[in-house]
Every structure is written in structure tokens, then in C-alpha cells.
A and B are shown apart, each in its own frame.
Chain A
Amino acid sequence: MKLKKNLRPAAVLAGIFLFLFVAARGMDPKDLLITTLRGFSTGSVTFLVAAGFSLIFGLLDVLNLAHGTLYMIGAYVGWTVYVRPDTFVDIMPLILFLMAGFSLRFLWDALSDRLNWSPTTIKIVGWVLVIIAIALALFIVPRYPIAGWALDDYAQSPTSYSFMVEQGTRLPAIHLDFEEISAPVAVIGLLLVSSMVSFGLALIRKQANQQHDLSPKKWITFIILVVLSLFFLLLNTTLTNFLFSLNSNWLFLIAVIIAALSGVGLGALMETTLIQPLYSRPIYQLMLTLGMSTIGVQLVRVIWGMPEFVLSKPTLFRGTGGACPASNLADLFEYNCTTIMVLGGRVRVYDEIFLPIVGIVVLVGVWLVLKKSRIGMVIRAGVQDSSMVETLGINVRRVFTLVFALGAGLAALGGVLGAPSNGLSTGMGEKLLLNALIALAVGGLTSYPGAALGSLLVGLIQQFMIKYGQIGIPIPFTDILFKPTPAIVPASTMLLMVIVLLILPNGLLGKQE
């Protein structure tokens, strides 16, 4: 019985690979290798998005259609930190103070409990507070002194800035046409904004008979955030100069970390403020996340402008001098070559070797967390029955927030890491989310190994189809060379999904419910 059950996915998988390699039989070995590696590369980036999406769906039952947006925001945040560290340093106090206000939610909850107003009054006051806070935020943010950037510079010559950064030239800061207010006033204003929003939300969602823990340890997050933001505020010039003095490798690393953290922060914010009230309403969740993805795209357009950006690779992956392209590993490490020669073909180190390695590291890392840690155990149990987990005495809502935040962080990480090979555009999120969804449908929606396998297949199919578009597929037993048009690339992944779902409705590794 068991064998029969496992046989079908194996047969489907074998069929897919058989197709790929029969079609590839006329291919040069070096093309075959490079196309396969590219498949792994695309698959890795897709996996970073798909894995988070599937964890969130598995545990929280939320189909987060804004996941692609988080991927896109990760890329844009990473780009900003990498290219304009001064902007990053300028904006940090603002964000940290905003978060500090939200971290005082426990205080507002307790305060709202002391109020003896009628329920309607409380709701109205809550909404009024939220609306005033948003208006205040819209007033403050454009007046906050941030080193901006002249977008036209990038639009005309998307790579020029990277050379400027390397030579230590700073791009001129431009500001919006508002009269600036001083940074300390602005950040205090933002603290007020977030406090008002969270107080408003506390009022709107007021519940009877809650017990409140106002112990000093509840203040720790708030204090850490305030100290951090003061750090950015007071050491602004020092930090900016320090970041500009770093070489592009360190800056890239910092950009990757900050981008991933921005995803984590944004995810936590999304889950606690927007998703949480809608846990029992799946349709509303869908509308909400769909709306958020649209808002996210427009926000990115407003903040970063329309042009598409390129994020240049750090110098570690950009060497061309000396013995480049490298023919062996020693040369590769000595001259930091962009490409390495394998089987007579040029393999791009960042795209075709580094990204797949990151994908595998994340795959194994998350798997270890799921299998070996207590939090992983709680997640695996919660996927099946979160309410039972809660009755064991585990604060499962906090685990929800954590998983959502980590899933969002993975997507943002995918965005920033994929940016040097795929570029940045406001459509990147939706395109990738579609691929991730196809990957999950192929692999099995809530199966973690399924997310990896599905992503890999989607990546391979895409890259092979691109290649076949160039060299054509020899149809067996005939002389016909079939040349697919570029439009077949997105169609082919869809076709893959349709075929897999027809044979295996739960995907390759999905469990039958």
C-alpha cells in the first residue's frame, strides 16, 4: 500500500526529468550544466518566498498574497542601504521610534481597560485616534530630513551609482519641497503617532476581563528600541561616514541583513495590526492581503519612483582582471572573478553558485529549526491543531506572529539576494509570488520539503524553456527542431502545475487530507 502511494509522485517526478533531459539531448554539456545551475538559482530565490508562504499558510491558515510585496520591499530596502547608506541612517530613528510606540501596546491595553465609557464611545474614540495619527504621520514624514536621491541619475545609467559609491562620491541629496522640521521633533511626533494608533487599536479591540501584566520586563523592548533610535539619531554623521567607508562586500552584507530584518519587522507589524483581527474570516484575509500587495507596490512607486533599478554585485563577485574568468578555484578566490569556466562554459559565480548555496543553507537551516528546536516542534504541532497547542499552555498567537515575521523575513531576503541577478522593478513581487504559488501547488501546499522540490522544478523548467527558446527542442524520431517562443516560459510552469495537479491533486509531497 505504502509503496503504491509513494510511487505516483516518484513517477511524475521521473516523467518531468525525463522530458527535460530527452528534450536536452542535443544540448552541449556546458549548456546543460549552466542551465541546470540557473534552474537551481531561480529555484533558490523562489524557495525563499515559497518556504515562508507555506509556513504561514500551514500554521496560520493565512494565504498571504502580500508575500511577493515583501519580497519586493526586501529588494528595495537592500538597494537603498547598499547604494545610499546615508538615507538608511537618516530614516532609522523614524522607524525605530514608530516601532517603540507600537511596543507599548500592553500599556494601552491596560489603560483602555480602566476606561468606563460606553462601548460605542470607546470605538469612536479609538477610530478618531487612529485617523488623527495617520494624518499626523502624513504631515510629519514628508517633512522629515532625509538624504534623498536624484532618481534621474539612476534611470539614465543604472550602474553609475555603484562606481560612485566605490569611489566614495556621494550622490547629491534632494529633499521634498516641504519645510523641514528638526529630526528630534519629528521622531517624537512619530512616537506620538504610533502610540495613538496602538491606543486606538486597543480601544477598538477592547475585551472584557483581561489581566494586565505591567511588570518592568514588558518595557524592555521599548527601551531597546528607543536606545537604538537615539543611537542612530545622535551618531548620524559618524555612522554615515562609517558606512560609506566600508567596501562593497561589507555594505552588501549589511544591506542583506537590514533587508531581511525589514521583512521581519514589516511581517510582525502586518500580523499584529492587520491579520490578527481577521483570523476567523478567511475571505477578508484574502481581500486584505491582496489589497496590501497593491498598496505595497504603489508605496514603493511613491518612495522609490518608477524606474527599474539594478543592484550591482559586491566586488567579491565582480572581478574581471587577472586570470578571470577563473579556470580553477584558486584563481576564483584570488581575483574574485565574476565567472568561472566549467566544462568550457562560463558560470556566473554569484548567480549560479552563490544563490543555490544560500538556498540550500536556508533549506537546511529552517529544516533543522523545525525538527530540532522547541519552537519548531510547536510549529509542526500547530500546523495540525493550533487550538490544542494553546490548551497545553503555549502562547500560540506569539508563535503565529513569529512565523509570519520569519516568513516575511525570508521573502525579503530572497528579494535582496535575487536583486543583483534579476534587477528591481515594481512588478517583481507579483511575478515571483505567482512562481512561488505554482511551486507550492506542485510540491504540496503545506509541505516544507514540497516547497523546496516545487521551487526547484519551477526554476528548472523556466531556465530550460529559456534555453530551448534559443536552441530549440529536437522532436524525437523526426528532423523537426521545435523552437518555443519566450511566452512559453511562464506558460510552461503553469503547464507543469496543471499536469502535476491532474495526477496528484495534493501536489508531489502534499499529504492527502
Chain B
Amino acid sequence: MNSTSDPGMDAILELKNVHAYIGQYHILQDVNFVVPRGSITTLLGRNGAGKTTTLKSILNNATVREGKILLNNKEIQGLPPYEIAQMGIGFVPEHRAIFRALSVEENLRIAERKKGDLDKKRAFIFELFPDLKRFLHLRGTDLSGGQQQMLAIARAMVPDNELMLIDEPSEGLAPVVIEQLIEAISELSKTSTVILVEQNFLVASKLAQYFVIIEEGKSVDHGLMVDLQQDKEKIHHYLGAA
């Protein structure tokens, strides 16, 4: 299956026939899609379809055995994860992975790629997440779930990342917090491209312009979010009740 992209479209990331493994398990079996620069693209699909593995394979946290991953038209598959990240990818993992032994401030500072990254972004981050400023000296895990999610996103924003991979940000959060989250993600998408894995279809449809559907490790459909929202039958077919 070929990814059909506009010839004129400026792609920041492209996955071509990607097969990826976690341990012995062949999770991704032919994933293809293109992420247009400056967009929010959401990966949709049922639980266990391979959405998280797709994000992991971009960072080589899942072993890519076949296919190509192009970042700015440069092959990145097989490189060590830290080198891929240094090319400008920020990752907000599923369970936030806030560092327990570090304060909120240190959780941000550790993401610096060069000295002064944090000081440059400090004002912007605190404007987006005022809570973090108040709890700067608390331990990362003393925060509430929502605040931890904010911290995880803020951490990915510290260096100049042109691509953000965000995995299940709304999971387990109260509706009020989700509102805040949507605002934050749309704000940060002004400066970087976002790939969003989201179970909550409402959240995904509020944020994303493009979608990719992954089913049983294959990318089965993609297109504009506005078109998908009209197509109740397709939503039901791929995602169950939405």
C-alpha cells in the first residue's frame, strides 16, 4: 500500500512500509503515512492496534526491521534514540514518565539540549502551564495527574523541537483538565508539528487536521479530519462507538 501524499505537500515525517518489533513480537506490519509540516496529525485505532508502537518506532524505541522513516527527507531508522531526539523530536509518553527523584524544575532542566534552553522557554511554558510555576520545587510525583501531564508536555517543549509525539494525553484526566490540555496542545502546535495518539475521539477531532487509522499493525486509512467526522460509518467501523 502506498501513502498517497500531495506532491506539493511539505512533509516533516514520512513512514514507508514500516515493520517494527517489540521484543519478539511483530507489532507493526506495514505502516505508511505522511505528516504535513505544521499540522496536528492524529493516529486513531483500537487498543492494541499499534499506535503507541508507531510513535516508539519513530524514536527507535521499537526495533524497525523493515521500511524507512524519513525526517525532513533524511532516513532516521536504526539510529540511536538520543540522536533521533536531538534532530528535534520531543516525546510525551503514555504514562508521562515524570522522573520521581527530580523536582519539577529538574524535570524540565534535564530536557535541555544546550545550556539556556529552559531559560529561553521559561516564560512561554509558564504562561501555558501556570501551575508548574507554583510547584517548581516540588517533586515531580507530588503533582496531580493533570499537572504531571502538563509537566510531561512542558518537558518536551524545553528544547526547540520541530516535531512532538504525544501519546494519550487525556488518559485518566478530568474534563476540566482536558479542556486546558486541548488549549495547550493547540498553542504548542503553532511552533511545532504534532503527532497525537488519542483514544478520546472528541479531543482528537478538536485538535487534529489530519488522521491516520491503524488497525492490527497496518495503516488502513488516512485523510482530513473534517471528512472523517462526517463519516459516522467509518468511525464506527474502525474505532467502535465514538
Contact = CB atoms under 8 A, between A and B. Distances in A.
Interface of A: 207-211, 374, 377-378, 380-381, 383-385, 387-397
B176 interface: no
A381 B110 contact: yes
A211 B101 contact: no
Interface of B: 59, 61, 75, 77-83, 85-86, 91, 93, 97, 99-102, 106, 109-111, 113, 155, 159
B155 to A, nearest CB: 7
Contact of B102 (A381, A391, A395, A397): A381
Contacts of A210: 78-79
A385 B99 CA distance: 8
Given A377-B109, A378-B110, A381-B110, A396 B82 contact: yes
A391 B85 contact: yes
20 contacts: A207-B78, A209-B78, A211-B79, A377-B109, A381-B106, A383-B101, A384-B100, A387-B61, A388-B97, A388-B99, A390-B82, A391-B59, A391-B91, A392-B91, A392-B111, A392-B155, A393-B85, A393-B159, A394-B82, A397-B80
Given A209-B75, A377-B109, A377-B110, A390 B81 contact: yes
A371 to B, nearest CB: 10
A61 B159 CA distance: 29
Given A390-B81, A391-B93, A394-B82, 9 more contacts: A208-B78, A381-B101, A387-B61, A387-B81, A388-B97, A390-B82, A392-B82, A392-B111, A393-B159
A393 B93 CA distance: 14
Contacts of A208: 78
Given A377-B102, A383-B101, A387-B61, A393 B86 contact: yes
A211 to B, nearest CB: 7
B81 A391 contact: yes
B106 A377 contact: yes
Contacts of B102: 377, 380-381
B159 A395 contact: no
B76 to A, nearest CB: 9
Contact of B110 (A207, A209, A389): A389
Nearest to A378: B110
A94 B110 CA distance: 40
B85 A392 contact: yes
A209 B77 CA distance: 8
B116 to A, nearest CB: 13
B109 A385 contact: no
Contacts of B78: 207-210
A136 B91 CA distance: 48
A288 B91 CA distance: 35
| SS of A interface (majority) | helix
A388 B61 CA distance: 10
Contact of A395 (B80, B99, B111, B155): B80
Contacts of B101: 380-381, 383-384
A427 to B, nearest CB: 37
Contacts of A209: 75, 77-79
A396 B77 CA distance: 19
Nearest to B65: A208
Contacts of B85: 390-393
A396 B85 CA distance: 12
Q: Which of B75, B85, B99, B102 counts the most A-chain CB atoms under 10 A from its CB?
A: B99
A388 B93 contact: yes
A387 B91 CA distance: 11
Nearest to A385: B97
A207 B60 CA distance: 13
A378 B99 CA distance: 10
Contacts of A393: 82, 85-86, 111, 113, 159
Contacts of A381: 99, 101-102, 106, 110
B53 to A, nearest CB: 14
A390 B82 CA distance: 5
Contacts of A374: 109-110
A277 B127 CA distance: 45
B124 to A, nearest CB: 18
Nearest to B88: A393
A384 B95 CA distance: 13
A208 B67 CA distance: 12
A365 to B, nearest CB: 19
Contacts of B110: 374, 377-378, 381, 389, 392, 394
Contacts of B91: 388, 391-392
Contacts of B100: 384
Q: Which of A381, A385, A390, A393 counts the most B-chain CB atoms under 10 A from its CB?
A: A393
B99 A384 contact: yes
A392 B112 CA distance: 8
Contacts of A388: 91, 93, 97, 99
Closest 5 CB pairs of A and B: A393-B85, A209-B78, A381-B99, A388-B97, A380-B101
A487 B223 CA distance: 77
Contacts of A395: 80, 82
Nearest to B107: A381
A375 to B, nearest CB: 11
Q: Which of A380, A390, A397 counts the most B-chain CB atoms under 10 A from its CB?
A: A390
A210 B85 CA distance: 15
Contacts of B80: 390, 395, 397
B98 to A, nearest CB: 9
A77 to B, nearest CB: 34
A402 to B, nearest CB: 14
Contacts of A394: 82, 110
Q: Which of B61, B81, B85, B93 counts the most A-chain CB atoms under 10 A from its CB?
A: B81
A397 B79 CA distance: 13
Contacts of B159: 393
Contacts of A377: 102, 106, 109-110
A380 B99 contact: yes
A381 B103 CA distance: 10
